[in-house]
């Protein structure tokens, strides 16, 4: 893991107490990419494009039971052996940039993910220390467009451009500016912390972030508050975007997340647990702990590999449209709202666009998107605002692995 110097120190200090294990996806553009979201829009096309990984029981609508029918997963040890205990599915927004030749957006491919599961922080651990069946949660906020007023909440998301040399660009919060091609294997890295303090209740579609919150103080090692006293495993995921692969063809810094977020503060992640009973507590207790915790789940004595290698596990795509070069509108026609001054939040879009933009349903193309670009930001001004927000964000980073 590469993270900021200060985060690295925090890890060091807490390391003695932190049990953790680490998993990987195989690298390359290892996801299904489509407008599906079994948590927020179960059964239906979703508002924006996601990159989805995990078990091949992924579908637009899932349950704990349906996930158990998976026969492979893209989440693996360092040798590409899928983890047989984890039938979970994970997804995050796709990242787009503007093509420099004016043809519109192109998608930045991924180059793998790194998933950390930790026994971190204080509060009463759930017994057993694992997710209940049917558990699902969101991390981050798709509608956030500026630094969160709560300082602690600013540490949920991280954007770091990994250079070939030790100096890397970026830190917590939104996109850094002046980002170059990030040629290091960790590329342009968007990372996120999931919340782990639980109120014992179910996921509520009407209030999707009510059942879990972040601990007080440190996002990972803080204490669970009385409203959400039960501590669950902490999940931290690093996602590598292969910026180098598209860098020569895009306008620098023209990043926009699929929900229409050009700030990066709206980086978010979804998790639907499909873990087999008993597996997380056993892995946490028995995996060898290196200086930063176990770096490879394959070295755990109780790790059970799948027969299908993770790189051969493919998730189905259910909603077909051009998600790689969608033209001048993002799939779903999500407007880019990043005005000057940037609003803290943008309103949730009303309904879902399924019959125009770029969707091709049942093999029939719906044609070109509406001619008018939905980009509404005042580009010069908003870039200045963004630059101001991240002026101090060049941080020297350290390598943990
Ligand atoms: C899917 O969306 C349509 C249109 O918004 C709605 O009528 C329908 O009930 C939704 N289906 C499900 C399964 O949520
Ligand atoms: C956010 O993370 C930084 C390290 O990156 C740390 O110094 C700071 O204390 C954290 N803020 C809060 C409120 O947890
Ligand atoms: C514009 O650039 C994109 C990205 O490299 C490429 O896919 C597309 O073919 C180009 N279009 C034209 C008309 O040159």
User: Does the residue 329 lie in any domain?
Assistant: yes
Write the pLDDT tens digit of every residue in 48-65.
Answer: 999 999 999 999 999 999
Global pTM? 0.84
In a domain, 56, yes or no: yes
Instruction: Confirm whether 254 is domain-assigned.
Output: yes
Q: What angle do CA 269, 340, 219 make, to 5 degrees?
A: 30
What DSSP designation does 327 have? B
- The domain of 346 spans 5-354
Alpha carbons 400 and 397: distance in angstroms, whole number: 10
With a 6 Å cutoff on the Cβ, whether 354 touches ligand 1 is: no
Is residue 390 domain-resident? no
Residue 195 located in a structural domain: yes
pLDDT digits (tens, 9 = 90+) for 220-256: 999 999 999 999 999 999 999 999 999 999 999 999 9
Structure tokens, 314: 């493919």
Ligand nearest to the CA of 248: 3
pLDDT of residue 109: 96
Q: pLDDT value at position 309? A: 96
Q: Is residue 376 part of a domain?
A: no
Other beta carbons within 10 angstroms of residue 328's beta carbon come to 17
How many domains does the chain divide into? 1
Burial of 104 (0-12, 13-18, 19+ CB in 10 A): middle
In a domain, 374, yes or no: no
Q: How confident is the model at residue 289 (pLDDT cuts 50, 70, 90)?
A: confident
In sign, the C-alpha dihedral spanning 197, 199, 203, 204 is negative
- Residue located nearest, by CA, to atom 11 of ligand 1: 44
Provide the Cα torsion 138, 144, 150, 154; round to 10°.
70
Instruction: Give the span between the Cα atoms of 373 and 194, in whole angstroms.
Output: 34
Which of 97, 98, 101, 323 for a ligand 3 pocket mutation test, highest count of atoms within 8 Å of Cβ?
101
Q: Is residue 386 in some structural domain?
A: no
Residues 6+ apart with CB under 8 A from 279: 85, 86, 130
Return the pLDDT at 398.
29
Supply the pLDDT for residue 342.
63
């Amino acid at each position: 893991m590469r993270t900021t110097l200060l985060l690295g120190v925090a890890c060091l200090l807490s390391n003695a107490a932190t049990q953790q294990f680490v998993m990987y996806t195989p690298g390359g553009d290892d996801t299904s990419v489509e407008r599906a979201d079994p948590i927020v829009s179960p059964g239906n096309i979703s508002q924006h494009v996601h990159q989805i990984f995990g078990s091949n029981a992924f579908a637009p609508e899932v349950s704990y039971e349906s996930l158990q029918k998976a026969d492979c997963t893209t989440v693996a040890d360092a040798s590409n052996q899928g983890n047989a205990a984890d039938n979970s599915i994970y997804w995050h927004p796709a990242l787009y940039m503007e093509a420099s030749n004016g043809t519109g957006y192109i998608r930045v491919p991924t180059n793998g993910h790194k998933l950390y599961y930790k026994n971190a922080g204080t509060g009463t651990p759930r017994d057993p220390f694992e997710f209940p069946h049917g558990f699902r949660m969101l991390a981050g906020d798709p509608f956030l467009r500026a630094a969160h007023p709560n300082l602690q909440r600013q540490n949920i998301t991280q954007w770091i451009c990994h250079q070939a040399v030790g100096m890397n660009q970026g830190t917590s919060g939104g996109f850094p500016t002046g980002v170059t091609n990030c040629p290091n294997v960790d590329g342009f890295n968007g990372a996120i912390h999931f919340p782990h303090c639980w109120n014992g209740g179910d996921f509520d579609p009407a209030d999707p972030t009510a059942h879990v919150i972040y601990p007080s103080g440190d996002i990972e090692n803080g204490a669970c508050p009385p409203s959400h006293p039960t501590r669950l495993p902490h999940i931290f995921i690093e996602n590598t975007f292969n910026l180098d692969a598209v860098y020569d063809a895009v306008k620098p810094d023209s990043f926009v997340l699929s929900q229409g977020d050009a700030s990066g503060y709206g980086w978010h992640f979804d998790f639907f647990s499909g873990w087999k009973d008993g597996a997380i507590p056993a892995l946490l207790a028995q995996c060898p702990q290196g200086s930063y915790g176990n770096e490879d789940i394959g070295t755990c004595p109780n790790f059970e590999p799948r027969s299908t290698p993770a790189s051969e596990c493919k998730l189905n795509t259910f909603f077909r449209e051009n998600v790689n070069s969608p033209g001048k509108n993002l799939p779903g026609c999500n407007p880019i709202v990043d005005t000057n001054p940037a609003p803290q939040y943008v309103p949730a879009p009303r309904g879902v666009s399924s019959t125009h933009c770029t969707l091709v349903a049942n093999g029939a193309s719906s044609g070109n998107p509406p001619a008018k670009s939905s980009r509404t930001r005042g580009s010069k001004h908003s870039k200045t605002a963004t630059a101001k927000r991240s002026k101090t964000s060049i941080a020297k980073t350290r390598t943990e692995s």
